[in-house]
Structure 1
Amino acid sequence: MLFAHDTEVALAYAAALVNTQADGPRSVEELPDVAALDALVDEWGWTGERRHDELELAQVRALRPRLREVWSTDVHGVVRIVNGLLAEAQALPQLVKHDEWDYHLHATTPDAPLATRMAVEAAMALADVVRADEVARLQVCAADDCEDVLVDLSKNRSRRYCDAGCGNRVNVAAYRARQSARD
C-alpha cells in the first residue's frame, strides 16, 4: 500500500467525483439529480449529515472543477488548491473511529455540509500525495477521446487509463490496426 487506506479511498473517491462531470467529447452528466448524488454517496460510504436537496447537489457539483484542476497543475498548484479547500472549511484534523474503519483522520464535523466534507477529505488525501512527492500519480486518461482522471496507485507507476474501459478499448483498436496492416 502506497498511502494509508483512508488516503487511497479518498483519492479514488475524488477521481470518481471529478469523473461524474460532463467533460470531453463522450461525457454525460453523471450527477443529474439528487437521487444520483444519493447513490454516489451510498456507493462510497459517506457518513455524516445529509440534506438530500438541490442546494447540496449544486455544492457537490461546484466542487468538481476545483478538484479537476488538481489533475492539470503542478505541485505548487495542488498545494494552492489543497490549502484553499482546508482554509475555507476551517479544517481541524482529528482521529476518529467509526463503522468498519479503524482510526483515521476527519477534519470536519459530521454535520458539516456534504460538499465541505468531500472537499476536506480530498484535500487531506492530496496533502499526503504532496508530502510523499507523488503528484505525478494524479493523471488524465491516456486515451485520446477521454478526459477522465485517475490515481495511479500501481507499484511500478504503469497505470495509464481510467476505469471507464479505455485501456481495453485502446488495446483492441491497436490489435485491429495491426491485423489490418498484415492483411
Structure 2
Amino acid sequence: MLFAPDTEEALEFAVVLANTEPGASRSGTDELATVAHLEELLRHNTFTGRIDRDEAEVREVRKARAQIREVWTLGRDEAVEVVNRMLREARALPYLTRHDDSDWHMHATEPDAPLAERIRVEAALALIDVIRMNEMGRLRVCAADDCTGLFVDLSRNGSKRFCTVRCGNRMNMVAFRARKAET
C-alpha cells in the first residue's frame, strides 16, 4: 500500500472532481455546471456533512476543482505553497473521526462547513501525504494527445500513463496504425 486508505479515497475523489472539467470529462462538456450535476457527482462519491444544493455551492465547488487541477500539475515545492494556502484559508484543524463504514481517519473541518471548503481541505490533507512521501510523480495528466484528464497512479510500479483504459486503447490504436502505415 502506497498511501493510507483515506488518502487514496480523497485523491480518487479529487481526480473524479477534476475530470468534470470540459476537455477532461467523458462528454467533453462541463459536468459540474448545474446543481443536478453536483448531486450526481455526490451520489457516486459519498461526501458527509452539509450540502446546500444551490448554485452558489456549485460555483464554489468549481473553484475547488480548479485549485485541485492546479496542484496536480505543480512541482513538489510549488504544491506545498498551494496546499498550505488551502488549509490556512479554511482554518483547518485536523482531528480523527470515524463514521459510516469508515474506520479512523482524518478530517480538518467541521461537518457543517461549506462543501467546497471540505473538498479543498480533504484534498489538501491527502496531498500532504503525497508531498511528504515525495510521490508528486504519482499525480499525472493523461498522456493521450487529446485528453487533459487527471489521474493518480496507485500501481505498484508507477507506470500508468493514461487516465482511462479508453485513452490507452485509443493511443495504442493510433500507434498501431502509424506503424502499419510505415510498412
For this structure pair, what is the TM-score category when the shorter chain's length is used for normalisation?
over 0.9
Aligned to 2:99: 98
Q: How does 1:102-141 map to 2 (within 5 A)?
A: 102-141=103-142
Query: Is residue 10 of structure 1 aligned with residue 10 of structure 2?
Result: yes
Residue deviations 1:80-127, cap 9 Å, x none? 111000001111111101001000001111100000000000000000
Q: How does 1:1-183 map to 2 (within 5 A)?
A: 1-23=1-23, 27-163=28-164, 165-182=166-183
Q: Which amino acid in 1 is paired with 2:148?
A: E
Q: Secondary structure at the residue paired with 2:17? A: helix
Residue deviations 1:39-92, cap 9 Å, x none? 111211111111100000000011112111112211111101110000011111
CA–CA separation in structure 2 for the residues paired with 1:56 and 1:165: 32
CA–CA separation in structure 2 for the residues paired with 1:71 and 1:94: 25
CA–CA separation in structure 2 for the residues paired with 1:164 and 1:117: 30
More moved, 87-96 vs 70-79: 70-79
CA–CA separation in structure 1 for the residues paired with 2:44 and 2:164: 16
Q: Which amino acid in 2 is paired with 1:61?
A: R
Q: Secondary structure at the residue paired with 1:172? A: helix
1:164/1:63 CA distance change after superposition, 3 Å: farther
Q: Which amino acid in 2 is paired with 1:174?
A: A
With the length of structure 1 as denominator, give the TM-score of the two structures. Answer: 0.94
Instruction: Name structure 1 gaps, 5 residues minimum.
Output: none
**Identity level (%):** 50
Instruction: Name structure 2 gaps, 5 residues minimum.
Output: none
Residue deviations 1:112-165, cap 9 Å, x none? 000000000000000000010101111111011111111111111110001272
With the length of structure 2 as denominator, give the TM-score of the two structures. Answer: 0.94
Q: CA deviation at 1:181?
A: 3.1
